[in-house]
């Protein structure tokens, strides 16, 4: 079992683990697990990866099933969709399958209902962790062999269609592709985009039926999300032609660091499977180099996004800018700068006003909002990646703190989608926000507890 935060005794671990397992079981829909009971009723891309880890030790078969179900939606060009829709929950989420108009797009598999964009490619490193936990390596070999090819194809897609100038950085075409949908960075991006509200297709949000408006994106952001989906569907998801005058193309550090780490993981997996890994090694080196050359911001001591349409950086400090610790890009000096930033008032707050690590948007950014989705709250999956990144670069004590903070939030408030980063809350503030009984919070808690 993993070494645990000292504040947790055996009985606490036992009861948190049992409650976490309950969350997953209740959100389970047979072959896959929904991210949340009502707000997210289908299968999501990177959620599936984190959720698989929550089953890995107790039900390895289900862990594999999560990934198999997700990759049923993979497009012929390798694109792994953000959502694989279930017929059972038609009409319960917006934008649903019919809004995306992916039906009939030649690349989409006929027997799966999917959206038309992708998400952070966590699946390579998730597979590698599953490999280390597999109860019977020989019996699981066909699964890993199949998945290796699928994930390789996914990376091939990113390096060809999303990196037209072969820079080593894949761009995202929608805030939803970042997984961190509502960062102030995208607001900044939107100021550059010509947008005509009267041309927007009519739509009705469903998220506000489940979560109060102050904790979700604002109307003006949703309008832009839908504006971009409308552009993509009008161009029938044609790549690369569609990108010629498409306005949202961002090289984001977390997305690319995850890609780099997944490349490395596939190299290890490929060695075990005796598959060729040469291309993966080249991709890793090129992406690490490009992360430093293009996205490292020396003044801010972290990585920042780059808008490749307007050829400018978006210098906003977010947790995503620290996730490159997960990969081999940062040298010892950069890693030390990032840990100093994490311990500074920008993330840790002050003695008078301490904060839980790690706010999704830095506490001192003008766009920071402690309770609004991705504008400041702590997310357990971000802490989980940061934990591994800090350990990789030799900052074990800070890694432990990042893990302890996440687990303490879970112990105090339950399995929320996100948490207020301020340690001292005012009267009436809840602590946890968004969806309750959120799957990846439960899954990564189990993973950390070694259950
Ligand atoms: C959130 O995103 C979806 C759109 O993909 C939404 O708000 O409707 C994000 O937090 C994303 O990272 C996550 O994968 C998804 C499901 O948990 O919810």
**Residue to probe by mutation, ligand 1, list 92, 176, 203, 204, most atoms within 8 Å of CB:** 176
Ligand 1, atom 4, residue with closest C-alpha:
176
Mutate to test the pocket of ligand 1, among 33, 40, 222 (most ligand atoms within 8 A of CB): 40
Q: Are 428 and 406 in contact (CB under 8 A)?
A: no
Catalytic site residue from 66, 187, 207, 417: 417
Task: For residues 222 and 373, give the distance between their C-alpha atoms in angstroms, rounded to a whole number.
Answer: 13
**Ligand 1 proximity of 49 Cβ (cutoff 6 Å):** no
The answer to whether 434 and 215 have CB atoms below 8 angstroms apart is yes
Q: Residue 232's pLDDT is what?
A: 98
pLDDT of residue 1: 45
Residues 178/320, Cβ–Cβ less than 8 Å: yes
Among the atoms of ligand 1, which is closest to the Cα of residue 438?
Answer: 17
Is residue 374 within 8 A of residue 359, CB to CB? The reply is no
Q: What confidence tens digit (pLDDT) does each residue in 100-127 have?
A: 999 999 999 999 999 999 999 999 999 9
The residues of the chain scoring below 50 in pLDDT are 1
pLDDT at 6: 60
Nearest-atom number in ligand 1 for the CA of 216 is 7
Angle of helix 137-161 relative to helix 123-133, nearest 10 degrees? 170
Closest C-alpha residue for ligand 1 atom 17: 35
The verdict on pTM exceeding 0.75 is yes
Dist. CA 143–CA 73, nearest whole Å? 17
Task: For Cα atoms 367, 431, 35, give the angle at the middle one, nearest 5 degrees.
Answer: 85
- The residue whose CA has the least distance to atom 7 of ligand 1 is 181
Q: How far apart are CA 121 and CA 49, in angstroms?
A: 9
Rg (CA), the chain: 20
Helix or strand holding residue 68 (H, E): helix 60-71
Q: What is the pLDDT of residue 199?
A: 87
Determine contact, residues 105/236, Cβ cutoff 8 Å. yes
pLDDT at position 157: 98
CB atoms within 10 A of CB 80: 25
Q: Ligand 1 pocket, 82 CB below 6 A?
A: yes
Tell me if 47 CB under 6 Å of ligand 1. yes
181 included as an active-site residue? yes
181 lines ligand 1 (CB under 6 A): yes
Q: What is the pLDDT of residue 7?
A: 79
Please name the residues in contact with 286: beta carbons below 8 A apart, sequence gap of 6 or more. Answer: 168
Name residues whose C-beta falls within 8 Å of residue 18's C-beta, 6 or more positions apart in sequence.
Answer: none
């Amino acid at each position: 079992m993993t070494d645990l935060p000292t504040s947790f005794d055996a009985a606490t671990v036992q009861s948190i683990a049992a409650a976490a397992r309950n969350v997953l079981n209740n959100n389970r829909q047979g072959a896959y697990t929904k991210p949340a009971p009502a707000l997210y009723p289908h299968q999501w891309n990177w959620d599936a990866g984190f959720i698989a880890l929550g089953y890995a030790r107790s039900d390895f078969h289900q862990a594999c099933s999560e990934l198999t179900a997700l990759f049923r939606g993979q497009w012929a060009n390798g694109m792994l969709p953000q959502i694989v829709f279930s017929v059972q929950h038609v009409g319960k989420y917006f934008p649903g399958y019919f809004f995306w108009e992916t039906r009939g797009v030649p690349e989409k598999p006929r027997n799966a209902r999917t959206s038309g964009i992708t998400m952070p490619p966590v699946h390579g490193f998730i597979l590698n962790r599953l490999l280390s936990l597999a109860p019977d390596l020989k019996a699981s070999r066909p699964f890993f062999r199949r998945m290796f090819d699928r994930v390789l194809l996914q990376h091939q897609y990113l390096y060809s269609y999303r990196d037209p100038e072969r820079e080593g950085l894949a761009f995202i075409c929608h805030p939803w592709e970042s997984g961190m949908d509502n960062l102030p960075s995208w607001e900044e991006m939107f100021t550059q985009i010509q947008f005509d509200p009267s041309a927007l297709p009519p739509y009705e949000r469903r998220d506000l039926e489940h979560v109060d408006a102050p904790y979700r994106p604002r109307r003006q952001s949703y309008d832009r999300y839908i504006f971009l989906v409308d552009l993509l569907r009008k161009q029938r998801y044609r790549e690369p032609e569609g990108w010629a005058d498409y306005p949202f193309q961002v090289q984001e550090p977390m997305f690319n660091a995850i890609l780099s780490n997944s490349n490395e993981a596939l190299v290890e997996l490929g060695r075990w499977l005796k598959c060729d890994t040469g291309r993966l090694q080249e991709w890793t080196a090129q992406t690490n180099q490009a992360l430093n050359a293009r996205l490292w911001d020396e003044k801010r001591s972290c990585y920042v996004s780059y808008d490749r349409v307007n050829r400018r950086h978006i210098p906003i400090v977010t947790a995503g800018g620290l996730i490159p610790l997960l990969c081999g890009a940062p040298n010892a000096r950069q890693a030390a700068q990032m840990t100093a930033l994490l311990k500074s008032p920008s993330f840790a707050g002050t003695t008078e006003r301490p904060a839980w690590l790690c706010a999704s948007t830095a506490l001192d950014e003008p766009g920071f909002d402690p309770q609004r989705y991705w504008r400041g709250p702590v997310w357990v999956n971000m802490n989980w990646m940061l934990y591994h990144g800090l350990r990789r670069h030799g900052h074990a004590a800070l890694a432990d703190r990042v893990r302890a903070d996440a687990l303490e939030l879970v112990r105090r408030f339950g399995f929320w989608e996100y948490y207020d980063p301020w340690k001292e809350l005012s009267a009436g503030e809840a602590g946890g926000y968004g969806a309750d009984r959120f799957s990846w919070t439960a899954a990564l808690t189990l993973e950390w507890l070694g259950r």
